[in-house]
Structure 1
């Protein structure tokens, strides 16, 4: 008679390992989407069982760190190291705040149009600048570009907040111009690390000038 099971106490040959454990950590994966290389990643941390306050606190701290590194890059390359872990929550919050502040000061019949225009300008402007930087040979993740350009809108939020309380054009104009220059400085610091060739850098900076100038002009004339 054939033996149906091994004798008691003898292990099955070729079977070993630990159930529920893994010796490798999934890194970022890249794929092509519409001709553009995008990046997805897994942080290796399971957040399903943690309190919601811990999740919100960690996300807010991450947003604050990215905002500081983008707007005040003390050390060259420091901001890009932090922004490898990109997110779109910070840019979304900044975009919504800018739209709300501009729509509050707009005439009632134009408030919705102003809010919609700000959202569309920020989204489409960031998209166009990011795609152009990649087409010019920039070594940057698609979502990382959207992340950085969204965070660079923060100085314009400061100018919009000042304009909500100050109506004197001689004060609002310098503040708006300073915020526009700050946005360009922060964005150029980021583009400097994308490895775009020197003769092409102006092609990447020119759309940034128009993108942030439109927002600064809307703040100035509100």
Structure 2
């Protein structure tokens, strides 16, 4: 801490010519080049490549915390919607080509269906949480719900790989199991991050819509991954 001597002239409230002396402590890390309040770096002068790599690294870090949900405050400190957008777009692209061979549809409705379910569903769940007295912001909740789609996305990829083999009851059971594991994983991860935002007596009311949200998406994965 740096101590700075502060002198104020009391020409209005005190006697003429009198001064008030004191000391003001300024954190040592808050000064840069002699100026108070300057950030450690200026993003306006930062190269585009460095900005993109930094953002991708932040998204990857959040994905890691979803896979191993131990740090509860990670997704809430600096929320973003890049990860949810990438997951939603990827799932929509995969599911749009998963219709039957006799379906002449170009896959447009499936693409829109995923976007509507993910974004509108996450907004409804978030509004429910806010109405129950949740102490996090709207976009923080949408960010967590979107990032926690990662287990469901992984389940979708595994199901599509399984479909490369000849269809059978055993393979359907495996795909069903994989999808349910993704559902449980996504629900658990989201409750870890959002659980503390609700009062103890209302956690069940907040968790139920979250589980329903991920169950619908998981069922969408099962029903659309058919030969």
Q: Which has the higher strand share?
A: 2
1:165 correspondence with 2:161: yes
1:129-208 alignment runs, 5 A limit: 129-167=125-163, 168-194=171-197, 196-208=198-210
| Structure 2 spans left out of the alignment, 5+ residues | 1-33, 164-170
Q: Is the 8 A contact 2:156 2:221 kept in 1?
A: yes
Q: Which structure 2 residues correspond to residues 5-154 of structure 1 after superposition, within 5 A? A: 23-24=36-37, 45-74=41-70, 78-107=71-100, 108-109=104-105, 111-154=107-150
Offset, 1:44: 7.2
TM-score by length of 1: 0.76
Over the aligned positions, Cα root-mean-square deviation in angstroms equals 2.0
**Bigger CA radius of gyration:** 2
Residues of 1 paired with 2:35 and 2:121: CA distance? Answer: 42
Give TM-score scaled by structure 2 length. 0.74
SS in 1 for 2:108: helix
Given that 1:66 and 1:83 are in contact with CA atoms closer than 8 Å, whether structure 2 keeps it comes out as no
> Partner residue of 1:5?
none
Alpha-carbon distance in 2 for matches of 1:142, 1:44: 29
Cα distance in structure 2, aligned partners of 1:172 and 1:110: 25
Contact (CA 8 Å) 1:70, 1:79: kept in 2 or not? no
Quick one: distance in 2 between partners of 1:201 and 1:219? Answer: 27
Tell me, which stretches of 5 or more residues in structure 1 are unaligned?
1-20, 26-42
Contact kept, 8 Å, 1:80 with 1:193, in 2: the verdict is no
Aligned length: 182
Distance apart, 1:45 and its partner CA: 4.7
